Structure 1
Amino acid sequence: NAEVPLFYTFTLELEDGNYSLQVVDDDNGIDGADDNCGIVNFTKTTTGQLTNDELKVTLNIFHQVDTIRSADTVRVFAQPDPPVVAYQSEGPLCEGDLLTLVADISDHIQWYRDSSAIFEATDSLLPVSENGRYWLTYTSPDGCISTSAETEIQFGAAIENVVFVNQDNLLSIFDLSILPEQAGIQWQLDGVEIADANDPEYCIAQTGVYAVVITDLATGCQGSYSRAITYNPNFPNCMTPVRDLPPGISGLSVSPNPFSDRLRLRFDAETAGEMQLRLTAADGRQVVRDVYRVFPGENTLELIREDLPAGLYWLAFEWNGYLFGKPVLKR
């Protein structure tokens, strides 16, 4: 007939294992046996309230704090100086070139490209042929690591498929689409640069070995082409001979030939009038028929045809009842 809650304090050193606490209402034999209030199980790490039917037990287990004192020696090694990466390049770096990076340390190093270690790249010399950020680490005998600064390597795109053609002494780059956005053009004769010859076309005046050098001004990378050209005296100044032109027309030139999207016709006319231009495909189909107004003096006409397929065409001119023409190549 105890009044709850009841509090008990006793000293019991707990070890690892399971314990049981039984609560009994001791009746000293009154009305029979003692009353069993319940049993709860616990360990030395149990916390909170334990319940068994109507029995509720809260255990407060005291955990003694152990204080451990220890002493040791810590050695801090000096941080090694970061390695230095260098290279030598006498000109621009272009696709197909091979560059060698040089480290000022030869042992215990590892090269990286961007964020990845380069397999078996542990020597002071590293051949490079790809774009990327290159750097290396050095590990000292004490195990300390230092890292070099990044060296960014960029190889410019190569200029390929450089070719020029000869049409009546007029040299012209065959495919203008190969020209970079910032292109420099230089024509040469027998290995010597020709002054002011910096256009996609060049009109020759003598026989020799001609070359064109195309430079990407943004990267410095170049492409070139050369071939021996024999001067044709029948086309002085790259113009159609007067004997092949109708009366009143002189100094006719058609360029570029081959052309990509437009043809330019330059000539001198003695009188005003109308000139009819016809462009005929190799199979005989007439694909262009235009009429242009001609004025006395120098005239420049442009024939723009981006939609024509590549191939050989015949360009015909009709002037005051005279018909003449010449072949042109669309690329």
Structure 2
Amino acid sequence: MTIVDTDCNDFNIPPADKPDLFIIITNPGGATIYTSPVATNTDVPKTFFLNIPLGNGNYGIEVFDDELIGTEQCGSVNFNQTTTGLLIDGQLEVSVNIIHPITTLNTLDSVYVYPIPDAPLLSFESEEWCEGDSALLEVTNYTGGLQWYVAVFGESQPIAGAISSVLQAQTPGDYWAVYTSGDGCTASSEVVSLSFYTLPALPVFSNDENLLFVTNPANLPLSYSLQWYQAGTAIPGATDLTYCITGEGSSDFSLEVTDLVTGCTNEYNSQSTYDPQADCISGSSEEFAAQGALNLYPNPVFNELTVEMGDMDSGIVELAVLNGLGQTQLQFRVEHPGGEFVYQVPAHSLLPGWYVLLVKSSDGTWIARAPFVRAD
């Protein structure tokens, strides 16, 4: 400890007017445990080197000046095991330096480092699926100790109950499997990002006097293909917006649309009955004229077939040319300003034979049809 400053001195006996300092240290019980020798005529700061083990509680330091006619108390301060800094009592300033011994602990233990298991290997057919499909994901190198996870919009979570090696996913997201070994070590598989595309709209069709036609082509994908079926069997060459029924009786017809961008398909089914009194391929010119005042010329035709009709409302007019099997050979969409309708159909690309021209108005209704012959 060090006496930094004190006002004790022997001013009555110059030149020996410096104090004769000594200290007394008491334990927490008040008993004296140390009395230092007297430091005669000493200057401050004055350091006393001690080696006193400290226990719990407050200790006391009393500072005295030993004079010829007795002792003068310069002041007293208290300290404990954690005391730091300067201790002050009036003019007395004392600092203590408490040394805390370093305790060394020796211990022995064993550390086991287990190997990281192999990552789960995933098998899957594709990352792109259609709405309603089930994507099969399978871990091929483990049968147990697995947990499947999915992340949607950045939030990952375990899939409840998904602990087998096979997972059937039906929603988009990032999927992966985590394997935990018997030692508690884990390894993760690659992440598979599954996409499920929306199905194209149902290709709803109607029957107008044996002519099956898509009622709203605008609902079809931008890039598509069509296939007509009868009783579940694909009709060869029937891949257009229309199909003409030629058989007797009733039958189940269906139309499948394929989105050529996503590869997804959708199918519409309807029971249709053949009407022997109607014929979307042939008929008398009087019948056709009565249905829409449709005039075709020249007929037979070699190059261009002129189509004329009476007054029509403005809008989109659709024309379709069908062959004798009811297969669409030509299709046109014409922006009509209103009034008399006139249009030239390029017939030179048709093979020689019998054909029928169908006209659909802007509201989507088939309003007229008439036969013509492509001359040889």
The answer to whether the superposition gives a TM-score over 0.5 is: yes
Equivalences for residues 209-228 of structure 1 within 5 A: 209-227=252-270, 228=272
Unaligned runs of 5+ residues in structure 1 are 252-265, 280-288, 306-311, 318-331
Equivalences for residues 150-299 of structure 1 within 5 A: 150-176=191-217, 178-190=219-231, 191-195=233-237, 197-198=239-240, 201-204=241-244, 206-207=246-247, 209-227=252-270, 228-230=272-274, 233-236=278-281, 241-244=287-290, 249-250=295-296, 268-269=307-308, 276-278=311-313, 291-292=338-339, 297-298=344-345
Percent identity, aligned pairs only, is 26
Deviations 1:89-146 (A, max 9, x none): 8x97332233443323222222212221122322223332222222222222222222
1:10 alignment counterpart = 50
1:102 pairs with one of 135, 138, 155 = 138
Deviations 1:21-41 (A, max 9, x none): 3444555656xx7344342x3
1:62 pairs with one of 91, 96, 99 = 99
- Structure 2: how far apart are the matches of 1:246 and 1:173? 20
After superposition, the Cα gap between the structure-2 partners of 1:242 and 1:135, relative to the gap in structure 1 and judged at 3 Å, is: closer
Q: Aligned to 1:44, what secondary structure does the other structure show? A: coil
Q: Aligned to 1:93, what secondary structure does the other structure show? A: strand
Indicate yes or no: 2:129 matched with 1:93.
Answer: yes
After superposition, the Cα gap between the structure-2 partners of 1:56 and 1:235, relative to the gap in structure 1 and judged at 3 Å, is: same
The one-letter code of the counterpart of 1:47 is: T
Deviations 1:201-225 (A, max 9, x none): 2142524643211112233221111
Deviations 1:173-215 (A, max 9, x none): 23445434443322334522442624xx214252464321111
Deviates more, 1:219-228 or 1:13-22: 13-22
2:183 alignment counterpart = 142
- Structure 2: how far apart are the matches of 1:296 and 1:217? 31
Indicate yes or no: 2:80 matched with 1:37.
Answer: no
Q: Over alpha carbons, which structure has the higher Rg?
A: 2
The one-letter code of the counterpart of 2:182 is: P
Aligned length: 277
Q: Aligned to 2:289, what secondary structure does the other structure show? A: helix
